[in-house]
A = this chain, B = another copy of it.
Amino acid sequence: MTKVVLFHETGPADVLRIEDLPQQEPRENEVRVRVEAIGLNRAEIMFRTGAYLEAPQFPARLGLEAAGVVDAVGPGVTGITVGDRVSTVPSFSMNSHGVYGESAIVPAHAVVRHPTNLSALEGASIWTQYLTVWGALIHYGKVRAGENILITAARLAAIDLANLLGARPIAVTRTSAKKKTLLDLGAAEVIASTEEDLPEAVRRYTDGKGADLIFDAVAGPFLETLSQGAAPGAQIIEYGWLSAEPTPFPLFTSFQKGLTVRGYTIYEFVNDRLLRPEAEKFIAAHLAKGTLRPRIDRTLPLSQIVDAHRYLESNQQVGKVVVTINENSNAN
């Protein structure tokens, strides 16, 4: 038997149950991972509440990102062996596969050997974060040195990558509570959006130019506010919906400035034969060198999965929330 997180209805965090299920075998082109650490993502909260791009089929598993050791390999799988230390790249439907549990069966294509200098804890914390910002800032956003990048929801990976590219990350956070932390972690400037006039603050921090790229997880009416802080010709990349309110398109501001608003998820490229390897190589090389690094806010044990979801929903974290399976998960 193996402990697995399931839910049987959409709802608040306490719909999550830890249940004992018989161990299953991987089918064709699947591998089974003995999970040591799970990286939590907001996608899982939206999936749990029924607000995600696809609706859960019950009983539903969930979870996209885990690290551990391969302990079984299905037919047709090449290049992955039992004993490999791997992590998973979100590149599958949670209705087909979910990694919350002691054991997870995932498509072989989702599995990568993470950089050897990283622990399982760290391996579970990197892929969604850095793949998301690689696609947004490098591949689609084409960020160049000196550009001003407005980053909402205190997304540390975006701050790190903007700095690596020589751009200026301006973090946007709701209150000034995280201000010092974000400055210490590399933000060039921090704007507390409920306490300051955001467009005015952006102008002040950019010599009046506005932001060249806006990387936003909030959407809703906040998009209009953000657009007023945009430079002419700027791109606004929307990748989340923390607002949960309808999102008016800033039509007149977009006419006046020639703005682009783009919806974005990593599913655009994580199954692309060329782009995903390019992204992984970039990220792995910088993680190995230490020029990018895992950013973990807090770890909780699997038994506290409900609390872990509640904590993620509280928006207090700065960095990844990781769930550990056993006391060895911190070892490499």
Which A residues fall within an 8 A CB radius of B? Answer: 53, 219, 223, 232-233, 238-239, 241, 246-265, 268
Q: Is the CB of B249 within 8 A of A258?
A: no
Residues of B within 8 A of A53 (CB): 252, 255-256
Residues of B within 8 A of A249 (CB): 219, 223, 238, 247-249, 261
Within the assembled complex, what's the spacing in Å between the Cα atoms of A256 and B238? 12
Q: Is the CB of A264 within 8 A of B255?
A: yes
Q: Is the CB of B247 within 8 A of A257?
A: no
Beyond the given A219-B251, A261-B262, please list 13 additional residue pairs across the A-B interface where CB-CB is below 8 A: A223-B249, A233-B268, A238-B251, A247-B251, A248-B248, A248-B249, A250-B263, A251-B263, A253-B263, A255-B263, A258-B263, A258-B268, A261-B261
Question: Which single residue of chain B is at the shortest CB-CB distance from A253?
Answer: B263
Within the assembled complex, what's the spacing in Å between the Cα atoms of A183 and B264? 36
Interchain nearest-CB distance for A220 vs B (Å): 9
Q: Is the CB of A258 within 8 A of B252?
A: no
Residues of B within 8 A of A260 (CB): 260-263
Given A260-B261, A261-B261, A248-B247 contact (CB < 8 Å): yes
Question: Which single residue of chain B is at the shortest CB-CB distance from A224?
Answer: B249
Within the assembled complex, what's the spacing in Å between the Cα atoms of A257 and B233? 22
Within the assembled complex, what's the spacing in Å between the Cα atoms of A58 and B253? 24
Interchain nearest-CB distance for A50 vs B (Å): 13
CB pairs A–B below 8 angstroms (24 shown): A53-B252, A53-B255, A53-B256, A219-B251, A232-B268, A233-B268, A239-B255, A246-B248, A247-B248, A248-B248, A248-B249, A250-B263, A251-B263, A252-B263, A254-B261, A254-B262, A254-B263, A254-B264, A255-B263, A255-B265, A258-B262, A260-B260, A260-B263, A261-B262
Q: Is the CB of A262 within 8 A of B263?
A: no
Interface centre among A246, A259, A262, A263 (most CB of B within 10 A): A263
Q: Which 8 A-B pairs have the closest CB atoms?
A: A254-B263, A249-B249, A258-B268, A247-B249, A260-B262, A255-B263, A247-B251, A261-B261
The listed residue (B223, B251, B263) touching A259 by CB distance below 8 A is B263
Interface centre among A257, A258, A259, A265 (most CB of B within 10 A): A258
Interface centre among A219, A261, A264 (most CB of B within 10 A): A261
